[in-house]
Structure 1
Amino acid sequence: MRPVAGGAFRAVLLVFASVCAWYSGYLLAELIPDAPLSSAIYNIRNIGEKPVLKAPAPKRQKCDHWTPCPPNTYAYRLLSGGGRNKYAKICFEDELLIGEKTGNVARGINIAIVNYVTGNVTATQYFDMYEGDNSGPMTKFIQSAPPKSLLFMVTHDDGSSRLKDDAKNAIETLGSKEIRNMQFRSSWVFLAAKGFELPSGIEREKINHSDNKKNRYSGWPAEIQIEGCIPKEPS
């Protein structure tokens, strides 16, 4: 009887151990959150590896500046045309004033006038300097800008062939140093203030006469740009 009793006792222990193992597995499954097996294996394989730190994507700034403008300033960006099909752009406070998307850019000199006090756009216009007599109308447009105005000017294609002295004088009066150096298809950008003075550190004008036949525009000057921040009028 002893062997039989011993066998029965071992059978009871085996059943008891099986029940305990099942119950332990049940509790473990309840306590551990669900996760795919592949994820668990991946996590085990990556134990001990150095964490990979990813830099956050840079926040877009007004007019695509690399860094934000300080408080109480206006952001601006002027981009001349480049080649035949890369159109000029004027951006102010993240608003495209002149450009291909707005449909108001063309060959010649493109101008936008902005109220310096309010930051509102007063007028935009382009003047073909290759065909037609548009130098006079452009002069009147510039002179019509009221006091406390910002004037932004950019070229696309040619801005000099029919540019006469009346227009050159008007632009020169606003502070341009390069308007009389304009050549056929020169790339030119200019920021002017009427009725007030801009801080001396602000980039206001740039010109490019390059006609290098090896550049990407086959002899057309490449686009140039200026950008910056204009302090607002103190309230």
Structure 2
Amino acid sequence: MSKGWVEGIPYFVKFAGLLLASSASLYLGYLVADLVPRETVARSLANLQDIGKKPVLRAPVPKRQKCDHWSPCPPGSYAYRILSGVGREKPPKICFEDELLISREKGNAGRGINIAIVNYKTGKVTSTKHFDMWEGDHSREMMTFIKKAPEGSLLLMTTYYDGSVRLKNDTKKLVKELGSKEIWNMKFRSSWAFIAAKGFKLPDNIQKEKINHSDKKTNRYDGWPAEIQIEGCIPRNLI
């Protein structure tokens, strides 16, 4: 027997052992696969894949409130929101009980002072109109419109483009009698929003009026005042 053949025996034994071990492992793998249900294997693989995943926390979608309020109005009350126009291209919006009364979508927003009249008892709009205070003489027409509003009405008003140039003093006086504190302070292109009651009194703790004036130095609308809004909840048992 040659010396080289004797020395090669350990390597042959090692190779044979490795081959035997591989065959045994393969056999055991098939055996386990037959004994363990496929659903269990699939579930285990899925769990392994999920280990490296970070949980994703999703905030719940906020529930939409009437007129886009942040919080709901108490039961037995009306929701309102008045948003003034800004510049030449962004008309105002007047919303009452989640119904747009005046807006671009409704096609009834116009330059000047926009007014919506709502029946307080029913919560339904009775009329809407805008009065151009840039061209024409519409101040007296606006005064007539307000005077014809029935007792027990809510009047929601706001500006678009300009509401002051042709607004006459007698009309300002009438709006002041409805409770406005800013109508006499309105300037060229001021943004103004106001809600009033005719024939009854609104609660003192609700937002009724807001005004913003043009500022060419600091305003991002190139001299036009930024839009303003007022919103709140009106109890239904005032009259």
Instruction: Tell me the TM-score range normalised by the shorter chain.
Output: 0.7 to 0.9
Equivalent in the alignment of 2:190: 186
C-alpha spacing 1:41/1:226, structure 2 compared with 1 (3 Å): same
Equivalent in the alignment of 1:208: 212
Once the two structures are superposed, residues 188-217 of structure 1 have per-residue CA deviations (whole angstroms, 9 ceiling, x without a partner) of 100000111111001100111132334221
Q: After the TM superposition, which of the residue ranges 84-93 and 148-157 deviates more from structure 2?
A: 84-93
Equivalent in the alignment of 2:19: none
Whether the aligned pair in 2 keeps the contact of 1:161 and 1:184 (CA below 8 Å) is: yes
Q: What TM-score do the two structures reach when normalised by structure 1?
A: 0.83
Q: Secondary structure at the match of 1:130?
A: coil
Name the aligned partner's letter for residue 194 of structure 2. Answer: F
Q: Tell me the distance in 2 between the aligned counterparts of 1:206 and 1:76.
A: 14
C-alpha spacing 1:112/1:36, structure 2 compared with 1 (3 Å): farther
Q: What TM-score do the two structures reach when normalised by structure 2?
A: 0.82
Whether the aligned pair in 1 keeps the contact of 2:81 and 2:229 (CA below 8 Å) is: yes
Q: Tell me the distance in 1 between the aligned counterparts of 2:41 and 2:29.
A: 20
Whether the aligned pair in 1 keeps the contact of 2:207 and 2:230 (CA below 8 Å) is: yes
Once the two structures are superposed, residues 91-138 of structure 1 have per-residue CA deviations (whole angstroms, 9 ceiling, x without a partner) of 111111101111101110000000111100110000001111101111
Note if 1:231 corresponds to 2:239.
no
Name the aligned partner's letter for residue 167 of structure 1. Answer: T
Equivalent in the alignment of 2:5: none
Residue 25 of structure 1, CA deviation: 2.2
Equivalent in the alignment of 2:7: none
Note if 1:95 corresponds to 2:102.
no
Flag structure 1 segments of 5+ consecutive residues without an equivalent: 1-13
C-alpha spacing 1:188/1:43, structure 2 compared with 1 (3 Å): same
Equivalent in the alignment of 2:40: 32
Q: Tell me the distance in 1 between the aligned counterparts of 2:38 and 2:51.
A: 20
C-alpha spacing 1:44/1:112, structure 2 compared with 1 (3 Å): same
C-alpha spacing 1:136/1:36, structure 2 compared with 1 (3 Å): farther
Once the two structures are superposed, residues 9-50 of structure 1 have per-residue CA deviations (whole angstroms, 9 ceiling, x without a partner) of xxxxx99x95x864642352344285696x54431334xx6x
Q: Tell me the distance in 2 between the aligned counterparts of 1:188 and 1:132.
A: 20
1:170 to 162, 170, 174: 174
Whether the aligned pair in 2 keeps the contact of 1:149 and 1:193 (CA below 8 Å) is: yes
Note if 1:44 corresponds to 2:51.
yes
Flag structure 2 segments of 5+ consecutive residues without an equivalent: 1-22
Larger radius of gyration: 2
Residue 53 of structure 1, CA deviation: 3.1
Equivalent in the alignment of 2:164: 160
Equivalent in the alignment of 2:154: 150
Name the aligned partner's letter for residue 37 of structure 2. Answer: A
Whether the aligned pair in 2 keeps the contact of 1:116 and 1:233 (CA below 8 Å) is: no
Q: Tell me the distance in 1 between the aligned counterparts of 2:97 and 2:128.
A: 15
Name the aligned partner's letter for residue 25 of structure 1. Answer: A
Whether the aligned pair in 1 keeps the contact of 2:164 and 2:188 (CA below 8 Å) is: yes
Name the aligned partner's letter for residue 32 of structure 1. Answer: T
C-alpha spacing 1:25/1:193, structure 2 compared with 1 (3 Å): same
Note if 1:81 corresponds to 2:85.
yes
Whether the aligned pair in 1 keeps the contact of 2:110 and 2:160 (CA below 8 Å) is: yes
Q: After the TM superposition, which of the residue ranges 162-171 and 187-196 deviates more from structure 2?
A: 162-171
Whether the aligned pair in 1 keeps the contact of 2:114 and 2:129 (CA below 8 Å) is: yes
Please provide the CA RMSD for this pair: 2.5
Q: Tell me the distance in 1 between the aligned counterparts of 2:44 and 2:76.
A: 53
